Chain A
Amino acid sequence: MTKTDQHLTVAMPKGRIFTEALHLLKEAGFAMPEEMAENSRKLTVEVPEEGFTFLMVKPVDVPTYVEHGVADLGVVGKDILMEENRDVYELLDLNISPCRVCVAGMPGRGPSLNPKVATKYPRIADRYFREQGQQVEVVRLNGSVELAPLIGLSDRIVDIVSTGRTLRENGLVEMEEIAHVTSRLIANRASYRLKRTRIDQMHQQLTVAVHGEGVFK
């Protein structure tokens, strides 16, 4: 095999998921260097011993890098996969960074005549409320979503919740769970075929790390 057959470029989200994914890779038997701190400013990290290049990108961009083939693999939250709906292989649930996508709002607030929902996930929100048979106006925000119901920009929000602390501190309550979210290993369509041996091998090692021996047949 040539170098290009073996080398894998992996798009990694900066932040908490990266730390957990790195831990998982070590458990799966990959020799990851110790100094790969999550707060490094480097945009690419080479691990030549294992034949990896990591691209450090914004979580929401991970599926884009993978779909366009500049990364062979990626690690990304299911929330982003649901929102972005990219043409990639979803290979493995890594079971890390668990949280949920929820509808939240002010307690005791009655139904509104012109319901508005603020969210970073307009497609997830739109799809969910349609399935519920509700027509709502979706307001797209890029952060501090919890503020929207407090100041009357929206009635409810759709956001990810892990401990629920941010909601409580802002006087909001969780109303409905839309989806349970964990991080996934995703693959580019062409890479999945052309670097199949290597990706299958990594897939298998990670499966054992996630579920223990005997699950992967």
Chain B
Amino acid sequence: MAKPREFEKPTGVRDFPPALVAKKKWVEQRVGERFRAWGYREVITPALEYFETVGKASAIEEHKLFKLLDSQGRTLVLRPDQTAPIARVVATMMRKESLPLRLCYHGNVFRAQEREAGRNAERFQSGVELVGDDSPEADAEVVALAVEALTACGVENIRVSIGHIGLLDALLKEYLPDPEVARLKDSLGRRNLVEFRERVQALELTESNRERLLSLLTIRGGREALDRLGRHSHTEAVTAAIFHLQAMWDALQDWDVADAVDLDLTLVGSLEYYTGMYFEGYGAKGSYLLSGGRYDQLLEQFDRPSPARGFALKTDQLLMASSGGEDRPERVALVYPRRWRRQACRTASQMRREGKNVAMFVAETGVYPAEDAFDRVEEVSGHDENRSAPDGGDA
């Protein structure tokens, strides 16, 4: 291996120049305001976690984890997501606080990349977790908040697709034994509709059941699609899941976001992790902006069983998709000769109180402000009478 050159960084990590940081802060502030307005409180968790706890509980596959050893030889991971650490916080530090808990975060997560460079190993996310409360309204709340957060960042053309892993599972189990169900879910998880069709064609089924299974691929729409699906269902699990989704859809209509939302039963998240509804959000010209869903089995791994759901905004994508910019204050370069320093200091303080960003330059040093770094260059030309005048007794 060649020794790294000075400009090189490990694959998948980036430096953020000031302009990008400004935009990122703006995005985080906008979504953070929405989170707070909906009653979510921010928490911060460490970047390092034990592999045995958070690493194993996370939705991210093991081969994507960054692992390292601490001085006692225990395996640590750089947190691959924020949900598992927050579940740990809810079950330990905040154990005495009664549910439901509404928590949010802004932070980085780490996923090792196998393929070419240009994919981020360190990613920024902002998100919420709503722990406790089994109701369809709680599920609808996070979807509505996700749409509101994207809107707050000026994202256009927002589409949210919603699937339901529990419903899909129950529907498949009406026709098929467990191993086949797992195989079909696996095809959908890899977004391979061709393989799903091939597997269904290869199964021994009546023609009408085969068509019903294949029709799962083409279910589109919202509430009316759910109603149609409900008419054919037989088992209690299917009926219960459809009932839950219908109630959730009604709540989404009350939040006025149902028009941005599509049902798609082929949409499944991490198969071992999500237990109920799962959703992904897209927008702008082709950006994948968020994912989230219901994860009812995570909290019990930290010994505080509870239903829960949340979502994570993909901040890096959101930066590109957001049409807004930071509300940047005016940047002023203040150039002063040394003999007017006292006045320059006062002028600067006054301007800073007015919200301007002020940087100082001493004329005698010959260091002048770069043109593109400032909106305005102001020179302090003192007034002798002002300088010698008494300054209200504080001179």
Contacts and interface: CB of A to CB of B under 8 A. Distances in A.
B161 interface: yes
Nearest to B280: A193
B120 interface: no
Interface in B200-221: 211, 214-215, 218, 220
Interface residues of B, number: 23
A83 interface: no
A42 interface: no
A156 interface: no
Interface stretch (A15-23, A27-35, A85-93, A146-154): A85-93
Given A217-B211, A217-B214, A193 B159 contact: yes
Q: Which range holds the interface residue count of chain A? A: 20 to 34
Interface string A184-204: 100011110110100010000
B195 A194 contact: no
Interface of B is mostly: mixed
Contacts of A91: 193-194
Interface string B271-292: 0000000001011011110000
A200 B191 contact: no
B193 A189 contact: no
Contact of A90 (B159, B193, B286): B193
B286 A194 contact: yes
Counting from the closest, the 7 A-B pairs by CB-CB distance are A190-B286, A193-B282, A90-B192, A89-B191, A69-B286, A90-B194, A190-B282
Given A194-B286, A217-B215, A92 B220 contact: no
A80 B162 CA distance: 30
A200 B194 contact: no
A4 interface: yes
B357 to A, nearest CB: 36
B143 to A, nearest CB: 15
B286 A188 contact: yes
A164 B283 CA distance: 47
Nearest to A68: B118
B157 interface: yes
B262 interface: yes
A171 B375 CA distance: 75
B220 A200 contact: yes
Given A90-B192, A92-B194, A217-B211, A193 B287 contact: no
Interface string A87-122: 111111100000000000000000000000000000
B262 A196 contact: yes
B191 A189 contact: yes
B113 to A, nearest CB: 12
A194 to B, nearest CB: 5
Contacts of B285: 4, 194
B194 A184 contact: yes
Interface string A166-193: 0000000000000000001000111101
Interface in A64-92: 69, 72, 87-92
